[in-house]
Structure 1
């Protein structure tokens, strides 16, 4: 498995949605500081995947408009 296949749109979308789901679930299931820290950690992972998705989307827009990065 190459790094390029790990950064595909499908993988990033799956990580984003799974991270978002885990964030909500961990804050609901765990109590106190442990729940907060788990939610923050999974939220950071989800935001990282979201930024990758937005970057991919921007690259796709530039390619369709004839601009190359």
Structure 2
């Protein structure tokens, strides 16, 4: 499961999907539930984005 969750396509999906849900949630869901949904999805998106940036530096091309 760890290998699946740390693959680049999965991280890109988590980043983009959760970012879009976090942007739309306060407008689609009324009140504090919409805000908390946006915060939760934003945290997941931020985690996936940080993993993408952190892994990018470790994949150096060697000859």
What band does the TM-score fall into relative to the shorter chain? 0.7 to 0.9
- Could you list the structure 1 runs, at least 4 aligned residues long, displaced by more than 6 angstroms after superposition: none
Per-residue CA distance 1:26-50 (angstroms, 9 max, x = gap): 1110112111111000000000000
Q: Unmatched 5+ residue regions in structure 2?
A: none
Verify: 1:8 aligned to 2:2, yes or no: no
Q: 2:47 matched to which residue of 1?
A: 48
In the TM superposition, residue 64 of structure 1 has moved relative to its aligned partner by 2.5
1:64 aligns to what SS in structure 2? Answer: coil
Please give the root-mean-square deviation of Cα atoms over the aligned residues, in Å.
1.7
In the TM superposition, residue 65 of structure 1 has moved relative to its aligned partner by 6.5
In the TM superposition, residue 57 of structure 1 has moved relative to its aligned partner by 0.6
Q: 2:23 matched to which residue of 1?
A: 24
Structure ID, larger Rg: 1
Give the TM-score taking structure 1 as reference length.
Answer: 0.79
Equivalents in 2 of 1:28, 1:65: separation in Å? Answer: 47
In the TM superposition, residue 5 of structure 1 has moved relative to its aligned partner by 2.9
